[in-house]
Chain A
Amino acid sequence: MTLLHTTTSNTTAQVAASVRDAVKHYGHDDTQVTALDHVDIDFEAGAFTAIMGPSGSGKSTLMHAMAGLDRLTSGSIVVGDVDVTSASEHELTRLRRDHLGFVFQAFNLVPTLTAIENITLPMDLAGRSPDRSWIDHVVATVGLSHRLRHRPSELSGGQQQRVAVARALAGRPSVIFADEPTGNLDSTTGSEILDFMRHAVRELGQTIVMVTHDPLAASYTNRVVFLADGRITGQLDQPTPDTVLDQMRRLGN
């Protein structure tokens, strides 16, 4: 438990998202579930952070709350300079559109739009013209240049996830949230996506928060945050598959 609150001392790094005393209950009375139990955590800008923990530990809940998709029972969350917990529906939409990126486990793309249209969707929705050279750069990095005019149904699962990551990156958001982005992929394709995300953080200066169950996937990140029963139970800097496994064992999962 000594690892808690390390970020408070680290004043040099910019904070992309900070969670303060976050509590989330589902249901009432007898059936009440506590998904988040007084969570306090900061996510550094320009870092690749993994969130790990057993099933039902509240990982998705935390991500959804940070992205303004779900409301906390109490506590506060600030992403960039927006207080997510007090923002209006309209402000949250703009936050998601302009300052956040999203990658889900599967079915990330709009089937009627081509790959490139999916990538530029948030900008198009905002009525902003995309930064062409940046988009070209992202697309080239993801290795999709030849498939841009294809519809999602004509792409493989891995290619679809790459398009999803490219979309998340396209608007240069403050934070990208990825909920088990490689959960549905084989290990080779998965590692390609992870490579790419690491590249985006290192070379392109992006901030990514990723939920994963896979120690190998976690080893691509700068830091792992462990969650159990809605509480932060530990952190690990510069993880390797072995140290992650080790920590998981120590925390009892």
Chain B
Amino acid sequence: MFRLTWKNLMASKIRFALTTFGVVLAVSFVVSAFVLGDGLRRSFTDVSKDITAGIDFEVRNTADFVKPPPLPPDVVDIVAGVPAVRHAVASIEAADNAVRPITATGDEIPTSGPPQLAFNWIDDPALSAFTIVDGAPPQAGEFTIDLDSAEKYDFVIGHTYDVMVPSGRVQLTLSGTSSFGPQNATLGAVLMQMNTAQASELFGVDGIDSVAVALHDGSDPAEAQAAIAAAVTASVPTAEVVDRETVAADFASQFTTQIDLVGAILLAFGVVALVVSVFLIHNTFAIVVGQRSRELALLRTVGADPRQIRRSVLGEALAVGIIASATGIVGGIGVAKGIDALFGVMGFDLVDWPLILAPRTIVAAVVLGIGVTLTAAIGPARRAATVSPMVLLSGTTSSSGRHVSRRRALTGAAFIATGAALAAGGAAVNGAFPVGVGAILLFAGVTMLSPMAVGPVTRVLGWPLGRVATVTGRMAQRNAARNPRRSASTSAALMIGLAVVAIAMIAAESVKASIGSTLADSAKAEYYLSDELDEVAFPAEVVGETLGLAGVDAATGFTPLEVRIDDTVTEVIGFDFDQIDALLDVDVRAGAFDSDVSSPVVVSAGEAARRGLVVGDTVTITSPAGITMATTVAGTFGDQSVLTEDYLVDTRVLQALGAPVAPEWLAISVADDARPVDVQHLLDTLESRFPYAALETAAQFEERVAGEIDDALTMVNMMVALAVAIALIGIANTLALSVFERTHELGLVRAVGMSRRQVRRMVRYEAGLLGSFGATVGVGLGIGIGIAAVHTFPSDVATQVAVPWDRLGLLIVIATTAAVVSAWFAARRAGRLDVLDAIAH
């Protein structure tokens, strides 16, 4: 039996290769996720160990929520005063991208890539992560930069450059280049250093981040740690002292989260490829078993046991699985190297990483490759085993796969009904969970029932074909409908892929439309000043300065702050209550933005309803600085499209909470009668002070957000492209097999006068019908689920449903065209058949 299996495999190498392709891809992605992750993690663990080698302890602040506040600078002296301490130095690090050097040509280094980080220079090789490569450490008015960035962006020692800092722009001279660890393992980040005094002045950090500690040789670490802790906590109760291992591990984990993200994306690609491949493999085996049913029946009549036949088919699947797994492991290493190269191209130069093929990687590859293939082949194997010897006599090749069993039909219908009810119900009550479950049920139900739909739907879709190409179109439609189960499972992969794109497109379109319409409703200010960088804030005095300019009617900055309200950590937004009415209409439902109330807070209508808050009630807020205060509800508001948080506080409350006023963005309203020259002056002033910030009108802001949403769709689109590519291989595969199966028939129609071109066209039309069937059903399903999904979005994300009909239509057209193209090979083969040979088949 095994020899038969092997012979069958070798008999059709192309089919075999196509079948395996999806599994190989899936296994490759999974393996690459592991290989790249393991290698990079090892590298970064080594880098972290290197860099922290000279540190004995680190003193840092803790917070029971969010990012710990900085330590007061005098902690350094306190630590240095402990007898066992040889040296204690302050570390100060600017927020990501808060400090950015401008190149000699005046260009900013793009912030969309790796971050730009600034540190204070530590003059003790044991405690510093950096060493000077060329030049000298930074003195006052100077800075150093890592050697790779210096080379890449042409920073020359001795030259003076503009550097953007939170308070504006300063000019500093490059005194040298540095290396981060021996390898300068920056991952493409730009790393700058300044002396400590200048760092505390320019980085916008109110204190120091931590203290690095080196002990005298021979002192007892445990005793020293206790002594340092005792000394520090006397002054800062929330401070802690951690050892080198903890520092190294924390340091490494900053990288591992990013490594894990890349790994997760690769795994997601693997899963997508896997799901789609299941259909492809199942289909190939089902067709092949169908075509071999005469041979199988012959085996049965000469005494083969059903079990032997089943084993023979499963054996074939096993062989496919083993080869796919093995190829996938090799392919995975290739994908990992490719991604490394890709990162390099995008500017994230990865460190050298060792090739680690962990046992778990191999096990995962083998389990996936073989498991999936075997699972997909179980159904066809069972059907093969039950082929009746009568098939030999009746002359029909395959009778299976024509009809949908009653039970399957009923289950499918029940799934669809339940799924639709759940999705609709979930949409009505904003429940994402029921919509999700409903979506899965709908997918399952539609997949089960789609064989029943193939006939009618392709008849409708094929109608225009029948107009332009009467016979070939008609025959293509009949062929597509002739084996409904085969056609359905061939197009199922495409269906799922396109449904996902449709959902993503509807979600994105709805979010964009909602932003547009709510912004139009609520934005009253003419100009918005923002830095695209989340963590970078504008200096507090900018608001006052702007208000002082001629022609400016109102202006305020918006400062987010993480706080604890009751037991939940949440973000509040602080701004000037006096100014807001002229800038934003956030749909005040009750009360007002009343700054006369002591410690006013305005709560979203939804949150107020949830917590039963009314105007005059008290809300207790605890800040990261540890200050707890009682605020008074001054009003409620309904429109969260611009101010997305639930709690809005006055700037004075922010200050009372011990938080710095550091606005992320500003809204500026120009007086109705402002002179154009004043407006121009305002714009020029802001422009020159913050040349790299965005000063936009509401419409420009909307456009930028829409663009960002489109960018976010890129990853989804890439995954779908992968799924669609595999689905198209499935269509190509099915058609190649169908053409083979219909050889006699093709010979016959050629004999009675069908031209080669007509034969090719017939095959392509069939592919087009399969493609448009999958695409239409998929997009239809996607529209339903997409609409339900948008209803579950929070009101600050989407308030209305928008369906991009034109682009969804285009999607169907593209998928159909791609299906037609994918059938090129099958069509060519069908056209080339020798008439006599074919008839004799």
Contacts and interface: CB of A to CB of B under 8 A. Distances in A.
B244 interface: no
Contact of B756 (A93, A96, A107): A93
A97 B836 contact: no
Nearest to B747: A69
A232 to B, nearest CB: 22
Contacts of A108: 748
A104 B752 contact: no
Interface string B463-477: 000000011001100
A126 interface: yes
A96 B471 CA distance: 17
B758 A125 contact: yes
Contact of A122 (B478, B753, B835, B839): B753
Contacts of A64: 836
A106 to B, nearest CB: 9
A121 B752 contact: yes
7 contacts: A67-B751, A93-B755, A94-B753, A96-B751, A96-B752, A96-B753, A124-B470
A93 B835 CA distance: 11
A107 B478 contact: no
Nearest to B470: A124
A127 B748 contact: no
Contacts of A70: 836
Nearest to B477: A112
B839 A104 contact: yes
A102 interface: yes
B753 A93 contact: yes
Nearest to A151: B478
Contact of B753 (A98, A109, A112): A98
Interface residues of B, number: 22
B745 interface: yes
Given A104-B839, A112-B482, A121-B749, A89 B756 contact: yes
A45 to B, nearest CB: 21
Contacts of B744: 107
A82 interface: no
B618 to A, nearest CB: 78
Nearest to B478: A112
B753 A69 contact: no
B336 to A, nearest CB: 48
**Interface residues of B, dominant DSSP:** helix
A97 B752 contact: yes
Interface of A: 64, 67, 69-70, 89-90, 93-94, 96-98, 100, 102, 104, 107-113, 117, 121-122, 124-127, 167
A97 B471 CA distance: 13
Contacts of B479: 112
B754 interface: yes
A55 to B, nearest CB: 15
Interface in B478-523: 478-479, 482
A110 B753 contact: no
Contacts of A167: 752
Interface of B: 470-471, 474-475, 478-479, 482, 744-745, 748-756, 758, 835-836, 839
Nearest to B744: A107
Contacts of A125: 471, 749, 752-755, 758
A61 to B, nearest CB: 10
Contacts of A107: 744, 748
Contacts of A113: 474-475, 478
Given A67-B751, A107-B748, A125-B753, 14 more contacts: A69-B835, A93-B750, A94-B753, A97-B753, A97-B754, A98-B753, A107-B744, A110-B475, A111-B482, A112-B479, A113-B474, A121-B471, A125-B758, A167-B752
B751 A110 contact: no
Contacts of A100: 753
Contact of A102 (B470, B471, B482, B752): B752
A89 B839 CA distance: 17
The 4 closest A-B pairs by CB, nearest first: A97-B753, A112-B478, A124-B471, A93-B755
A125 B751 CA distance: 12
B395 to A, nearest CB: 9
A70 B839 CA distance: 12
Given A64-B836, A121-B471, A69 B754 contact: no
B839 A93 contact: no
A93 B748 CA distance: 12
A182 B754 CA distance: 25
B211 to A, nearest CB: 82
Contacts of A93: 750, 753-756
Given A64-B836, A104-B839, A121-B471, A126 B753 contact: yes
A69 B749 CA distance: 12
B741 to A, nearest CB: 11
A159 to B, nearest CB: 16
B326 to A, nearest CB: 41
A126 B472 CA distance: 11
A90 B831 CA distance: 12
B836 A112 contact: no
A110 B836 contact: no
A189 B835 CA distance: 28
Contacts of B754: 93, 97, 125
Contacts of B750: 93
Nearest to B758: A125
A90 B755 contact: yes
Nearest to A100: B753
Contacts of B836: 64, 69-70
A121 B470 CA distance: 10
A111 B745 contact: yes
Nearest to A112: B478
A112 B748 contact: no
A184 to B, nearest CB: 11
B564 to A, nearest CB: 71
A152 to B, nearest CB: 11
A127 to B, nearest CB: 7
Nearest to B751: A102
A220 B548 CA distance: 114
Interface centre among A93, A102, A113 (most CB of B within 10 A): A93
Interface centre among B474, B753, B839 (most CB of A within 10 A): B753
Contacts of B751: 67, 69, 96, 102, 104
A94 B756 CA distance: 11
Given A93-B755, A125-B754, A125-B758, A110 B749 contact: yes
B358 to A, nearest CB: 53
A86 B267 CA distance: 61
B130 to A, nearest CB: 75
A122 B836 CA distance: 18
B672 to A, nearest CB: 72
Nearest to A106: B395
Contacts of B835: 69
A100 B750 CA distance: 12
Contacts of A122: 752-753
